Chain A
């Protein structure tokens, strides 16, 4: 092999860079996301329940939001009959965010952890902004 020394040094430098994120984070636990539900509206609720069960909302809220959007916007169906029989008005800004008024501690907590950047807030008012 020609220039073995140079190639090996180069390889070592490359590997050092490529694996940097792994060994620099080794052993360090990143704080688990803990979305908070302690908003005034939720605390006043007698039965603390979202539209559907906690597990369903946690796993499927993005699909539900898409279905809500299409139902309300395209079909004009603005009422959602949940699986437990309650009828809920479909509105992200005027329904979801009325309870979940803590964007930073609720939405961003997991979204930042999972490095997803939903574009909701480009158009919909984040709860804080709405107050001004």
Chain B
């Protein structure tokens, strides 16, 4: 029996495809046990878009800021290098002028001119850091939180250049020796990765609100921006709020109440 060149090529091509498919099947099954499922924890807090309101009127003394910053940095093992060049920060303070550069004018009330703003990652709805990340280490979760997978971060710092809010810090040195009190429940980071606020995803999964919100004595309000009845939306309905550099179009999820009557 003879076979034409054309038929031979047809058969060879089809067998090649078949072998390819069976190989992908093998690769796909690798590391997967039968009948496994992944589920979110039923205890966890969920939302369509997490957001925060910072009521700066409630931050009166240095102590008010420090309590919130310490609560965050302690549970997340954020190192203190003791010099601004190497600084790693998840939440920090800045002058009004630096936090809201376009809102500043020299005739602002004195209390506001001098006021320190409490800053952290804005968890933007249109995050430039996510767009530039070459490894998809930084990503936006379905609940709006901009999170980072440190396993995948290659330390290129594109995200730091892209973020207009300075929310990201780079680990120039091994952070471990500079962490005062280790929290054994949460990992540290390593030299050569970028890090930032994660809106306490690990606490939300356990049904707890972010550490800063708990420590703020009502100065920070956390909730679902997509839910019209949420606490956050109630406040936004009744108060005039600012977002940092909203004109850049990143749609930050962090809102600030600067001044006015304290009626809340």
Contacts and interface: CB of A to CB of B under 8 A. Distances in A.
Contact of A74 (B40, B149, B150): B149
Most chain B CB inside 10 Å of its own CB: which residue of A71, A90, A94, A122: A122
A81 B142 contact: no
Contact of B40 (A69, A79, A125): A79
A125 B184 contact: yes
Contacts, number: 87
B7 interface: no
B258 interface: no
B35 interface: yes
Interface string A32-66: 00000000000000000000110010001011101
Contacts of B35: 81, 83
Interface residues of A, number: 37
Contacts of A112: none
B38 interface: yes
Contacts of B185: 93-94
Contacts of B36: 80-83
B149 A66 contact: no
A89 B206 CA distance: 11
Contacts of A94: 185
**For chain B, what secondary structure do more than half of its interface residues adopt (helix, strand, loop), or is it mixed?**
loop
A69 B151 contact: yes
Contacts of B139: 74
A76 B142 contact: yes
A119 B41 CA distance: 28
A132 interface: yes
Contacts of A64: 31, 33
Given A82-B33, A125-B187, A73 B38 contact: no
A122 B187 CA distance: 9
Contacts of A75: 38, 40, 142
Interface string A80-103: 111100010110011000000000
Given A56-B33, A60-B30, A75-B38, 17 more contacts: A52-B33, A63-B30, A63-B32, A74-B147, A78-B44, A78-B205, A79-B41, A81-B39, A83-B33, A83-B34, A90-B38, A93-B185, A94-B185, A119-B190, A122-B191, A123-B150, A125-B184
7 contacts: A60-B31, A60-B33, A74-B147, A78-B41, A78-B205, A83-B35, A131-B184
